[in-house]
Amino acid sequence: MMRTVIMVALGCVLLVGVASGDKHSKGSGHSGDSKGSSFRSGLISFQFAGFIGGVQNFGAPFSLRDGEASLTSSGDLRLEVKGLLLPDGTTGPVTQISASLVCGGSGGMVVATTPEVDLSADGDAKIEAKITPLVIPCSGTIILVRLAGLNGNPSPIPFYIAVTGFDGQA
């Protein structure tokens, strides 16, 4: 019962966060222009042991100094994280990340995942990738930052460690 209440609350927070994250972020917000941003949001590290789009949270207490993701209507995804670190000030075993596009909110599904990129020792990374085929419209857009490599090896289970939907004040 308590798990159901927590999952419903998480879903509501994420859906409200997606709307407010886009409204408060810099840039054009939703746009029909193929070069404009159709989705733009801040990122937060997420420590709730649950699922978004069928993907489980890593469960480790990562913190994120700054992060932002945007997706254009032509499928250009740009994601940047700064200071994605564990409490000991390291990235732990995490050496690579990727990004996944989820359509349908927290209960939706992953429709695309980018190739992995290296995560620096300072917890910084940038992803610039083309999402194809792009699902438009993608209602309830969420972008997950996923664990893609552990100690230089592919992760056997690509958990998520950060998520969009919140502005920097959330």
pTM: 0.74
SS3 content of the chain, % helix, strand, coil (to 5): 15, 45, 40
Write out the residue range of the structural domain in which residue 96 sits.
2-164
Specify the number of domains making up the chain: 1
Mind giving me the DSSP string for 97-151?
Answer: EEEEEEESGGGSEEEEEPPPEEPPTTS-EEEEEE-SS--SS-TT-EEEEEEEEET
Give domain status of residue 20, yes or no.
yes
pLDDT in tens, 71-122: 988 889 999 999 999 999 999 999 999 999 998 888 899 999 999 999 999 9
Give domain status of residue 86, yes or no.
yes
Give domain status of residue 170, yes or no.
no
> Is 165 exposed, middle or buried (CB count within 10 Å of its CB: 0-12, 13-18, 19+)?
buried
Give domain status of residue 169, yes or no.
no
